[in-house]
Every structure is written in structure tokens, then in C-alpha cells.
Amino acid sequence: MTMQIYDLIIVGAGPAGITASVYAARQKLNFLVISLDIGGQAAWSGDIENYTGYQFITGPELAKKFQEHMSKYDIVLKENENVIRLKKSGEIILIETNKADYRARSVIIASGKKSKELGVRGEVEFKNRGLTYCATCDGPLFAGKEVAVIGGGNSALDAAMQLVKIAGHIYIINNTDRLGGDKVARQKVEEADNVTIYNNSQVLAILGDKFVNAIIIKDKGKEKQLTVGGVFVEIGLIPNSAFAEGLQMNQNKEIKVTVDNRTNIPGIFAAGDVTDVPEKQIIIAAGEGSKAALSAFRYLALKKES
């Protein structure tokens, strides 16, 4: 039995991947979308006040809007599939996932980023047992508890702002001399009554029994134990790009792209946070997804003419 060859396969269903899928559907391409989940990082975000058309919307609500738009078209979605390997062989691009193999004439990689890990004692043991990487997903489980947010950038500020309304007290453990991130978000966090900020500090270990009950930090050179019922790791993100063979990447493992989302391999395009495009924003990822789809359509059209 001959394996089907698609015009296009889109890897990822965050803002970039979903937008690319809508454009591909409108161009009547024979394509499918492969993704672990729907919504990507947008679904993890808290309050969003800078997405054009919405003066205020939460991340999960915006992700739902994306999904609803996607559902208006007859789009084939392979959800809960993880791409393990992607390479070009001749004129065909081969994709291997944890469930199946696929072939396509073109690909858009819109696989986004994943959370960095602390790499400290207790992190693996207490993952999903009081330690989490998503305040939007898990914040309500920690109502009234003392919790720690690890990090000092935008993702940590976003987590803290969500938890201010939920948790009893929040300790922010930041390894630089001051919080970074968006000025407005930083001010809101610093002015909150139930937030204590530890700058120039780092986490040494996560402690607990069945669940997290404390962390050990080094605060200005001295070790200190904080009693907490939850830990939110928000130290940044790394690109989901390890599966892509032969693509040029920068030092951060972001895929290098041109202004029209081409990579160094013809037929393979990339969009969103997995690329080296500056400013990781939902609205930018969506725009990059539309550009990538149009570029893929143009590539396929030129191939047919040649």
C-alpha cells in the first residue's frame, strides 16, 4: 500500500500552527496538522491585554477562539502525536511521530517552545505532585496555599499575577538583582500584598513527602528553607526543534528563517516561537503562521509549474 503524500504538513497547533492551517484550508491544500495539544503557549497564558481586537481575554479563552476558527474548516488534526524525526529525502519530507509516519511535499514547523527545567534535587520526584510548569493549568489547585514562583521574567510575572488572586502567599525566587519582564506586570507584582520577592537567589532543592512541602534556596549566599505547598517553575522556554534534521539554528536552538519563513532546506518552513524571529508574542506568532502558509502555497505552486 502506497503511503499518502500530502501537499503540506503543519507541525504544531499553537497560534502559528492554527493560523497556518486556516490559510492552508482557504488555499484548498491537501494537508494535515500534527500536534501534542491545541492552543500551545496561548493556552497557558493568563490575562491578555495586547491582542488586537480583544481589550481583555484570558489565554484559554483565546486558545478556544483559535480552535473554533480552525473547526470551521475540514482540517485533519492528529492530536496527541509527538514528532520524533523530520528530514527531507529527495523531494519528499518524511515525518515520524510516536504513532505513525507521514510524507509531504512541504512542511511548516510551528512547534513552539517548552518549559525549561531547574535541574535540582526533587524536581523530577515532585513533578505533578506540587511542582508544575503552568500556573494557568494548575493554579486553582493551590488556593490559599503558600507557593513559590521560580523565575524573574515575563512568564514568572504572568504566573505570579494569576496566583495573587488564588494563593495565600507567593514567594518569587529570582536569580538576578531585580525582576525583569514587562514594566506594567512587574509593577503589579511588586505592589501585591501577598508577594515576597527574593532577588539574587536560587533554588537548591525541592522537598516533600508525597507532595511538595518546602524548598531550599540560597538567598544572597545563605541557605534558607521556605515552607510552600506548591512550586511553579517559570525560568523560560526552549524551542521544540530537536526533531528537525539538517536545519540551521542559532545558539538557542531556534530555527533560522528568512522574512518569508523559509529555512535552509527548500520546502521546509517555520513559524512562531520555534524560530529566531524576535519578540515572542501571540500576535506575532499568528502573523508568522499566515506568512508561512502563503510561502508554502507559493512554493508548491511553483513546483507544479516547473
Quick check: is 177 catalytic? no
Alpha helices (H) along 88-179: 135-138, 154-164
3-state secondary structure of 73: coil
Alpha carbon of 94 to those of 48, 99, 198, 239: distances in Å? 37, 14, 48, 20
**Annotated active-site residue in 47, 134, 219, 276:** 134
**Annotated active-site residue in 47, 74, 101, 138:** 138
**Annotated active-site residue in 37, 101, 137, 260:** 137
E strand residue ranges, the chain: 5-11, 31-35, 47-48, 57-58, 76-79, 83-89, 92-97, 101-109, 113-115, 131-132, 146-150, 169-173, 195-198, 201-208, 212-219, 222-227, 230-233, 237-239, 268-270
Quick check: is 137 catalytic? yes
Quick check: is 158 catalytic? no
Residues catalogued as catalytic: 134, 137-138
